[in-house]
Chain A
Amino acid sequence: MPTVFFTSQLARFIDAPTVVAPGDTLDAVLGNVFSDHPQLKGYILDDQGAIRRHVAVFIDGMQVRDRTNLSVALNDKSEIHIFQALSGG
């Protein structure tokens, strides 16, 4: 099953452990993660289910560019890394 890693920055606000979750698309895997950690969803996705503008998602080293269509195919060993995008001051 795919593995999802969250930025350690999230730990300032919410418990965001590395999790293994079933699913063959990004959408499905995140859906399964968020069903176990519902509060986490709003940190990563906006009200319409799009990846937040200043959150970066990588699948096996490649950044997800389409923030609204999350039907990207995954394989059983996919690693999903969720970071904060560079911004701030």
Chain B
Amino acid sequence: MASKLYVGTRKGLFILVRKNGGWDIDETKFLGEPVSAVYSDGQTTLAALDLGHFGPKLWRREGDGEWQEMRVPTFPKKPDDADDDPHPWSVGRIWNINPAGKDGAFWAGTMPGGLFRSDDNGATWTLNDALWMMPDRRKWMGVAGGEQPGLSSVLVDPKNADKLTIGVSCAGIWQTEDGGVSWTNIGDGFDNEYMPPDQRHDPIAQDIHQIAHCKAHPEVIWCQHHSRIYRSTDYGMTWSPLESAKPSGFGFAVVAHPQDPDVAWFVPAIKDEQRFPVDAKVVVSRTRDGGKTFDVLDRGLPARHAYDLVYRHALDVDATGMQLAFGSTSGGLWISADGGEIWTAPDCRLPPVACVRFELA
């Protein structure tokens, strides 16, 4: 079980450790600054900052050493013939940092939709040109809270690191089989309810809040879509709606059990402009049968007058599939050691939570 938890918030990074049967804040870093993404495998820790004035930043720590600032991903000079590009050629936010299946290699998903790769442990980053230069990228739409598309999810096939599946808010799901040389927009079966009738089923018009795959069975992918929850058993080519999700099918975050392809967790909210927990009661929904039925898990979670919303990267599960954690826009943080049956809250009142990540073993 993971024994360290990284929580990125509107006002800094909080590092919790598990001891004496509970969790407590052991370290703080970047206090006062927004932390938009974090990753740690124990040896390398990367934290992205979203400085309001001075732009996105990236810091790295090796082991227990000093934090050092790295070069951030940047876009190349915008060509003269790209004046009609609706999206800025400047990184607005580093939204997630993902291991690329090779030592020292990472993929970073950003706003306005650029995918960047590092092969030197996060020190330098290169834009994936093939995805960014696609003519279809200009059809991508902005994500809530900003006008820029956001590359919300990056799934690297554990059996083939050249196979990537990415989710974009809002531009559907894109897949490469050749390490990012070429990309295909996939995803039959989606229905984006807020689009015009002739575009509701178009794969590029899908509002993919987040996707997560089962690491042992990467052909199984779960999708928290804007309209509802979907599941695919063919690497994202086709999707089935899971209509029995309760108390609602709306939310932002999803995590998949690392070994059991039938198990996934979600944090539901009222759809869709209101965006707070159904009946102002924080719950986690879990399926253990591939999405046929859902359990509503609430032991230890606020039962009344709770308006916590959980963002895309603010829910995580560790490598055992038993330990989960999530943080909310109200600064709530809850951790479970038994697959979500019982939740406990560390003794803290945090700033709004953007991301929660267990340290990888």
B77–A48 CB distance below 8 A:
yes
Within 8 Å of chain B (Cβ to Cβ): is A72?
no
A46–B90 CB distance below 8 A:
yes
B316 to chain A, nearest CB (A): 27
Within 8 Å of chain B (Cβ to Cβ): is A10?
yes
**Which residue on chain B has the smallest CB distance to residue A47?**
B90
B90–A84 CB distance below 8 A:
no
A52 to chain B, nearest CB (A): 6
B77 to chain A, nearest CB (A): 7
Which residues of chain A are within 8 angstroms of B76 by Cβ–Cβ distance?
A: 47
A84–B54 CB distance below 8 A:
yes
Q: Map CB proximity to B onto A24-54 as digits: 1 under 8 Å, 0 otherwise.
A: 0000000000000001001110111010101
**Given A47-B90, A48-B90: A87 touches B74 (CB 8 Å cut-off):** no
Q: Considering the chains assembled together, what is the distance between the CA atoms of A13 and B72 in angstroms?
A: 14
Which residues of chain B are within 8 angstroms of A54 by Cβ–Cβ distance?
A: 52-54
Within 8 Å of chain A (Cβ to Cβ): is B91?
yes
B74–A47 CB distance below 8 A:
yes
Interface size range of chain A in the complex? 20 to 34
Which residues of chain B are within 8 angstroms of A85 by Cβ–Cβ distance?
A: 53
A12 to chain B, nearest CB (A): 8
B69–A88 CB distance below 8 A:
no
Within 8 Å of chain A (Cβ to Cβ): is B292?
no
Q: Considering the chains assembled together, what is the distance between the CA atoms of A84 and B55 in angstroms?
A: 11
Which of A39, A46, A47, A87 is in CB contact (< 8 Å) with B52? A87
A48–B53 CB distance below 8 A:
no
CB-CB contacts below 8 Å: A1-27 with B: 9-10, 12-14
Which residues of chain B are within 8 angstroms of A46 by Cβ–Cβ distance?
A: 55, 88, 90
Q: Chain B binding site: helix, strand, loop or mixed by DSSP? A: loop
Within 8 Å of chain A (Cβ to Cβ): is B57?
yes
Q: Considering the chains assembled together, what is the distance between the CA atoms of A48 and B87 in angstroms?
A: 13
Within 8 Å of chain B (Cβ to Cβ): is A55?
yes
B69–A47 CB distance below 8 A:
no
B351 to chain A, nearest CB (A): 11
Within 8 Å of chain A (Cβ to Cβ): is B183?
no
Which residues of chain B are within 8 angstroms of A42 by Cβ–Cβ distance?
A: 54-55, 57, 72, 74
CB-CB contacts below 8 Å: B10-55 with A: 32, 51-55
Which residues of chain B are within 8 angstroms of A52 by Cβ–Cβ distance?
A: 53-55
Which of B32, B51, B53, B75 is in CB contact (< 8 Å) with A47? B75
**Which residue on chain B has the smallest CB distance to residue A87?**
B52
**Which residue on chain A has the smallest CB distance to residue B76?**
A47
Which of A14, A50, A55 is in CB contact (< 8 Å) with B53? A55
B85 to chain A, nearest CB (A): 12
Q: Considering the chains assembled together, what is the distance between the CA atoms of A43 and B57 in angstroms?
A: 9
Within 8 Å of chain A (Cβ to Cβ): is B89?
yes
Q: Considering the chains assembled together, what is the distance between the CA atoms of A45 and B220 in angstroms?
A: 42
8 A–B pairs (Cβ distance < 8 Å), ordered by A: A39-B71, A42-B74, A43-B55, A46-B55, A47-B76, A52-B53, A52-B55, A87-B53
Interface set of B (CB-CB < 8 Å, partner A): 32, 51-55, 57, 69, 71-72, 74-78, 88-91
